[in-house]
Copies of this chain bind each other. A is one copy, B any other.
Amino acid sequence: MRKVRTFSNDTALVNERRKHIIKIATELIVKKGYNNISTRELANALGMSTGGLYHYIGSKSDILYLIINFTAELTGQTLDRFAKELKDAQPADQLKESLKVYFETVDYYRDFHNFVNHIMLSLPLKDRRIVYEAESRIIQFFESLLNSGIETGQFRKVDAKILAHNIVAAANAWANRGWYLKRYYTLDKYTDEQVECILDQISAPGKASPMAQISR
């Protein structure tokens, strides 16, 4: 986390203000686009003046950086949560549970996901890496989850890498293609269908598709 300028020495206050900035800015940017909101407009939405805003950030693009970092942290937290909660479960249950939580998280933070998509090109390469890395970590999490199931023979021998990637793609799709999907699915329904698709692909050979019924 690179440093972002502030004139305040009160760390708690800075964090609070920045949290607020992240939230409001993300909403605004998702609604109108980064370049279509001015610092004035943002300050206004925050209930501050431009000067006040610049008391806590060094530049407009710092806002992007703050948001990017926030999303990366989210990813980290999600993964940590998975690791803790699922430590001792069976691969199949781990997968089911983590898929459910992951899709929920993406839904909840879908503004951020869309934001990241939209903003990517305005970021310097260095900052893009932060996003790339966070995404890679998620994919790798699912990949190794799948692989551990394959090793124990509980899953079929599928290409874990592509499947993991497809999982993340499906989740992202919920965020950035909601305009289409929400005509036909609720989040729950969508999650169920996707989980079924995935379990279908990994269910061990021989057994027809024993894991395909979702318990909900």
Footprint of B on A, CB under 8 Å?
A: 29-36, 114, 117-118, 120-122, 128, 132, 135-136, 139, 158-159, 161-163, 165-166, 169-170, 172-173, 176-177, 179-181, 184-185, 190, 193-194, 196-197, 200-201, 205, 208
B197 x A163 contact (CB < 8 A): yes
For A169, give its contact among B159, B170, B200 (CB under 8 Å): B170
Could you tell me the distance between the alpha carbons of A121 and B214 in the complex, rounded to whole angstroms? 35
Q: Which B residues are in CB contact (< 8 Å) with A159?
A: 193, 196-197
A197 x B162 contact (CB < 8 A): yes
B35 x A132 contact (CB < 8 A): no
Stoichiometry (number of copies): 2
B114 x A121 contact (CB < 8 A): yes
Q: Which B residues are in CB contact (< 8 Å) with A139?
A: 180
Q: Which B residues are in CB contact (< 8 Å) with A118?
A: 117-118, 120-122
B163 x A181 contact (CB < 8 A): no
Q: Which B residues are in CB contact (< 8 Å) with A184?
A: 161
Residue of B nearest to A208 (CB): B205
Could you tell me the distance between the alpha carbons of A171 and B120 in the complex, rounded to whole angstroms? 19
A200 x B197 contact (CB < 8 A): no
Residue of B nearest to A135 (CB): B180
For A197, give its contact among B30, B114, B132, B166 (CB under 8 Å): B166
Q: Knowing that A31-B121, A163-B197 touch, tell me 11 more A-B residue pairs with CB under 8 angstroms.
A: A30-B121, A33-B122, A35-B122, A118-B118, A136-B180, A158-B197, A159-B197, A162-B193, A162-B197, A166-B173, A205-B208
- Least CB distance from A95 to B in Å reads 16
Residue of B nearest to A196 (CB): B159
B197 x A121 contact (CB < 8 A): no
Residue of B nearest to A162 (CB): B193
For A177, give its contact among B114, B169, B170 (CB under 8 Å): B169
- Least CB distance from A116 to B in Å reads 11
Could you tell me the distance between the alpha carbons of A176 and B170 in the complex, rounded to whole angstroms? 14
